[in-house]
Structure 1
Amino acid sequence: MIAAAGGEPGHALMVGDSAVDIRAALGAGVPSILVSFGYCPPPPEGPQANAVIDHFDMLETSALPLLRGLTAKAAAPS
């Protein structure tokens, strides 16, 4: 679906509030950020997000290192 939206998995991440969202990110091969304030309570167990934020003010600070990591992986020689 990332490509269908005009994006690239190597430049994407998932922001979600449930274990379903985190599993979707794992399936897509992208990092994830779990928000603790969404519709669903944070998952007590199961797949773990790369970061957890308690307010949208924390999104940029949490997302930038994950996105930089994706860029570094894409640029690394294989």
Structure 2
Amino acid sequence: MIWCLVGVGLPARAQCYAHLTKPEHIVRHRWQPGDVAMWDNRSTAHYANRDYGNQRRVMHRITLRGDVPVGPTGR
């Protein structure tokens, strides 16, 4: 996550976090039996709220082989 970015000062990290957590950048899902969610951790900040009561939360993580991720500049 952004708090462990190397070489980036705290003010820039705080600004980045404030931008990421704006309501227009947040997705909330109302779970129903059988639902599956997938995202790319290379371009997503994931935070799971602990609001699922006494329901069991099952999570499996996989890493796919493929292209090396690049930034907006193509490097």
Q: Same fold (TM over 0.5)?
A: no
- Give me the TM-score of the superposition, normalised by structure 1: 0.24
- Give me the TM-score of the superposition, normalised by structure 2: 0.24
Higher RCO by CA contacts (8 Å cutoff, separation 6 or greater): 1
Which structure shows the higher strand fraction? 1
Which structure has the greater CA radius of gyration? Answer: 2
Which structure shows the higher helix fraction? 1
